[in-house]
A = this chain, B = another copy of it.
Amino acid sequence: MIRVAIAGYGNLGRGVEKAIAQNPDMELVCIFTRRDPESFQANSGVKVVAMADMASMKDAVDVVILCGGSATDLPEQTPQVASLFNVIDSFDTHANIPTHFEKVNEAAKNAGKVAMISVGWDPGMFSLNRIYAESILREGSTYTFWGKGVSQGHSDAIRRVPGVKRGIQYTVPVPEALEAVRSGSNPELTTREKHTRECFVVAEEGADKAAIEEAIKNMPNYFSDYDTTVTFIDEDEFDRVHNQLPHGGFVLRSGVTGEGTKQLIEYSLTLGSNPEFTACVLVAYARAAARMASEGMTGCKTVFDVAPSYLSPLSAEELRAHLL
């Protein structure tokens, strides 16, 4: 049994808890929290331990899955926790991955632990599809599309606009752009041509809806470079229709071999729940981290460094017989 702990009990942490229940070779030992551990109970009934008392669990846990955010939690937590445990995180600020890697690698190497960073679907499964596809089709173009799905950052941005009571934003790939890529024409696509942004807003009583719409559509970085629609709905509809966190997207590699032969590789995800899917990826890589650590490996790893066989509970013989 691989003994797992979860650090952080939000959407992602609860998703990991559910995912572990689908993996009979894994056992959830405890939840680590920065809150008062007496203030809540875990759905699965496992004990809740204060983050400050982590070291007390050192011999009872094989790997800790960090479920904090990339903005402020993980840059601090991952190196810290990697000095005590094998760890996995879903650090997803692409531009800061090299710096995060260096800090985590030093901590994990010094402690003789394996630390797997940036695990999830992007970075994560999408990254894997980029490396496989680009290693195979050396001449060509790679395209990543996101959605249809809820962007938490953009939903937060909507909710900061005065007069907005509730708000949610869906990122939607433009079908014509996807088709152009699939055709093998290797188009150069602008930001506006690749995705649209669909916003659903519940306005405060008496708010100026036209002003809200203008404020959203012209918001720099978030919306001004996109074709954005703003739809006002009532709170009932908001609660009924927009209560999930679906997401997904596409990675396409359109390449050429021989004398102009077109070749297309496409990977796509259609996720009913973004945090539950990310959780499943984290759990599979937790299995890999525990195994790699037990073989004596140490240091920071990414999905690029993990042979696929480490992810599966099946033996090498079973994999060759049934999945190859």
Binding site for B on A (CB under 8 A): 15, 18-19, 22-23, 94, 97-98, 101, 118, 123, 125, 127-132, 134-139, 182, 257-258, 261-273, 276-277, 279-281, 284, 287, 302-309, 311-313, 316-317, 319-321, 323-324
Residues of chain B contacted by A269 (CB below 8 angstroms): 263-266
Q: Report how far A97 CA is from B316 CA in the complex, Å.
A: 12
Q: How far is the CA of A106 from the CA of B208 in the complex (A)?
A: 76
Do A273 and B257 touch (CB < 8 A)? yes
Closest Cβ of chain B: how far from A285's Cβ, in Å? 9
Alpha-carbon separation in the docked complex, A271 to B264 (Å): 6
Contact B263 A276 (CB under 8 A): yes
The 9 closest A-B pairs by CB, nearest first: A135-B311, A261-B272, A264-B270, A304-B309, A257-B276, A22-B138, A135-B284, A262-B272, A261-B273
Residues of B with C-beta under 8 A to A134 = 312, 323
Q: Give the residue name and chain of the B residue nearest to A130 (CB).
A: B323
Once A266-B268, A307-B307 are accepted as A-B contacts, the answer to whether A302 and B324 lie under 8 Å apart by CB is yes
Contact present for B280 and A136 (CB under 8 Å):
yes
Task: State the copy count for this chain.
Answer: 2
The distance in angstroms between the C-alpha atoms of A147 and B266, with both chains bound, is 14
CA distance A308 to B137 in the complex (A): 14
Also in contact, A131 and B15, with CB within 8 A (given A261-B276, A284-B136, A302-B324):
no
A15 and B258 form a contact (CB under 8 A): yes
Q: CB distance A131 to B308 under 8 Å?
A: yes
Residues of chain B lying within 8 A (CB to CB) of residue A98: 317, 320-321
A-B contact list, 24 entries, CB within 8 Å: A22-B139, A22-B257, A23-B138, A94-B324, A97-B324, A98-B317, A98-B321, A125-B136, A127-B323, A130-B323, A131-B312, A131-B319, A131-B323, A135-B284, A135-B287, A257-B279, A261-B276, A263-B271, A263-B280, A264-B270, A265-B269, A302-B319, A304-B316, A305-B316
